[in-house]
Structure 1
Amino acid sequence: MLRLIKPDETGYFDNLIANSPGPEFAQTAVWAHFKSQSWRPLHYLYEEAGEPLIAITIWLRKLPLLPFYLAYAPRGPILLKTVGESSLPEFWPELRIELHKRGAFALKLDPAWTDDLQAEQLKAVGFRPVHSDQPFGGIQPKCTFRLDIAAEPDELLASIPKKIRYNIRYPEKNGVVYRQGTKADVPDLMAVLQDTSRRKKFLGRNAAYYERLLEVMGERAALIIGTKDEQVVAASITIVCGRQAWAVYGGMMREYAQLRAYYGLNWQRMLWAKSKGATSFDFSGVPVDRSEDSPLYGLYQFKKSFGGDFVEFIGEFEQPVRPFLYWCWQTFAPWVIKARKWLAARRRQSATEMDEAK
């Protein structure tokens, strides 16, 4: 039976996800709370005989001028036990009925599943694969590298390719000092991300976003900063959920690229993740186009160089909940999305310029 959890059960819900075979921070209630300024979250458990088997967080976003919502389950659902997969045929119809009651016109999801059979099972219950032209394959990255970090630090370091071990040690031998920061250090992070965004030609978020992230996520997130002679040279945010950690935001100052500080920074991220119980480190996405001609080939090579396992997820899927409205969405949404992205980019650029001016 599917049930909406009570407000006082969010901690219990997040613990179930953290202790599942495949934890995903994007499905937690705490992450949904962080994102609740843009989406309205709902958290459900599917239980049999009182035993929770499947968890799913649904984010609802209202259509302009209409009382209907797009439902999105980032990296969901979560199979809380391996036997949960056998309950999916009963889970999906109950979820669809519930979302219809909530005013949803479509459900979008991108589960952290890698089995083609699971993709076929989604198609069998009415989901349609979404073909994205985004460089990372969708809202969430379709491909990534994940490194097993369960070993003791010395053994783990020894398992990393020799050249990368050298690059990891190089910064500290040349005066770079790493430390864990706080909200007060977000300006240092912003300096790094703004320098990176100017080089890579993308618009980042404003300081308030990262300050709120650190505040809401608490001990589940860490801001780690690398400095040389009190000058910030690299910075990053890492998130952990159960046995899994993710390198979500980060960069280095181009001026200090010769220090190779980002290699050492990623090692510090792994050590922090291990201290929180993580045994796997996700480099948070590589481009779908991994050819040498790709403008993101360097990013792919950097993340590959640590020796992790290449992981390809099944990608995005959508299921109509209200077929006519879904058809309208499919027909007109591309124009709406382009307009929203343009407006959002303008707002972020204005906010960033204000931060720089300060």
Structure 2
Amino acid sequence: MTSALSLRPVSRAEHLAFVGSRPSVSHMQLPSWGEVKPDWEAESLGWFDEEGRVVGAGLVLLRAVPRVKRYLAYLPEGPAIDWHDPEPERWLGPLLAYLKGRGAFAVKMGPPVVVRRWSAEAVKEAIADPAARRLRDVPETSYEAGAAGLADRLRRAGWRQAAPGGEAGFAAGQPRYVFQVPFAGRSLDEIHRGLNQQWRRNVKKAEKAGVKVVQGGYDDLPAFYGLYTETAERDRFIARPLSYFQRMWTALTAEHPDRMRLYLAQHDGDLLAAATMLTVGDHVWYSYGASTGRKREVQPNNAMQWRMMCDAHDLGAAVYDFRGITDTLEESDHLLGLLRFKVGTGGEAVEYLGEWDFPLNKLLHKAFGLYMARR
């Protein structure tokens, strides 16, 4: 018989100690992430086995419903538990019971479980195929059999899978489709050879043109932000305020001095591109990127990304994560160009299990959904 697990709040130190015992967890499951989200109440939770050892941890964010003292409980890209356990109820049962006691009317989580992968070549062929409308409809290069079983068990237990959305990498919540470059066991030369011809040419072109990529700091965030708002207008997304990035920097670097980095690509004194990079264990994320429409011919974005990839390799990264991609393959999609850019690195498109909801109070859950839809 499988032993029971208990759950209770844990200290920041206990939470970080567990994170340090694993190869990596999402940056959104760190204690510091709660400080980045001041509109949410944050709490660290720990799972304990019968011998009192911490065997899982998660950051839960609690958002109060207007005029009602009830909460939406959210574990973005988490929790960090054993998702291969054939009995996920051992983990999720105590979580639901605790959060119900905290006044939650619904729980949302994002299991960090991979379902399918597509090689760069497979994605490239899909983009070129006029019959291919969405990545999810294209045959995968590899498939994680256990993910389907987990999804079935979650459904049977009452969890509901959130729809992927039209722009799956960029919709509300966390991206279901991402693009990653595997680094484990590969030399930097091998990673460079994995770039397509256009990428290698652009990196060389930037170097010959004199593009300089440097690391910035907190004081450089306003300069990054200027490019970021220009990018938001051009690519049609809603920009976060500068204070969000300042909170990110302060919270994450206080937790670990190298948790967050800022990179700036310059040419003859002009700032042309900038990006943030996050590191937890052996997983490195390209987090937010920004660029100007000026001087695109000197290829600052390729230069900046290659410098970030080199530094990630030096840090011992097992994977360089480009984060969200669109699931849509149609030429009319304004995000297709970004997908093409990422595919040029020779990595792979990855589909995660997506986000799941458990309504603890079905009436309030439905009302909250209607409220969010009207916003």
Same fold (TM over 0.5): yes
CA distance in 2, matches of 1:311, 1:8: 32
**Structure 1 residue 310 displacement after superposition:** 1.2
Task: Name the counterpart of 2:175.
Answer: 141
CA distance in 2, matches of 1:174, 1:198: 27
**Structure 1 residue 302 displacement after superposition:** 1.0
Task: Name the counterpart of 1:118.
Answer: 150
CA distance in 1, matches of 2:228, 2:63: 28
| Structure 1: gaps of 5 or more residues | 339-358
Task: Name the counterpart of 2:108.
Answer: 108
Q: Could you say what secondary structure the match of 1:85 adopts?
A: coil
CA distance in 1, matches of 2:178, 2:373: 26
Task: Name the counterpart of 1:56.
Answer: 58
Amino acid at match of 1:146: Q
Task: Name the counterpart of 2:363.
Answer: 324
**Structure 1 residue 7 displacement after superposition:** 4.1
Count of aligned positions = 330
**Structure 1 residue 245 displacement after superposition:** 1.0
Task: Name the counterpart of 1:276.
Answer: 315
**Per-residue displacement from partner, 1:149-174 (whole Å, max 9, x unpaired)?**
23232232122223211212221211
Q: Could you say what secondary structure the match of 1:67 adopts?
A: strand
CA distance in 1, matches of 2:19, 2:226: 33
Task: Name the counterpart of 2:141.
Answer: none
TM-score under structure 2 length normalisation: 0.83
Q: RMSD in angstroms over aligned alpha carbons?
A: 1.9
Aligned counterparts, 1:1-358, within 5 A:
1-16=6-21, 19-20=22-23, 23-35=25-37, 37-48=38-49, 49-79=51-81, 85-86=85-86, 88-113=88-113, 114=115, 115-131=147-163, 133-136=165-168, 137-150=171-184, 151-218=186-253, 219-335=258-374, 338=375
Specify which structure has the bigger relative contact order, considering alpha-carbon pairs within 8 angstroms and separated by 6 or more residues: 2
Q: Contact between 2:18 and 2:54, CA under 8 Å: does it hold in 1?
A: no
CA distance in 2, matches of 1:216, 1:246: 17
**Per-residue displacement from partner, 1:196-229 (whole Å, max 9, x unpaired)?**
1221232312322222212221111110001011
| Structure 2: gaps of 5 or more residues | 1-5, 116-146
Q: Contact between 1:241 and 1:278, CA under 8 Å: does it hold in 2?
A: no
Q: Contact between 2:9 and 2:46, CA under 8 Å: does it hold in 1?
A: yes
Amino acid at match of 2:88: L
Decide which structure has greater helix share: 1
TM-score under structure 1 length normalisation: 0.86
Amino acid at match of 1:3: R
CA 1:50–1:274 in structure 2 vs 1: closer, same or farther (change >3 Å)?
A: farther
Q: Percent of aligned positions with the same letter in both sequences?
A: 26
**Per-residue displacement from partner, 1:241-278 (whole Å, max 9, x unpaired)?**
11111111012211111111101111111122223332
CA distance in 1, matches of 2:267, 2:87: 54
**Structure 1 residue 317 displacement after superposition:** 1.2
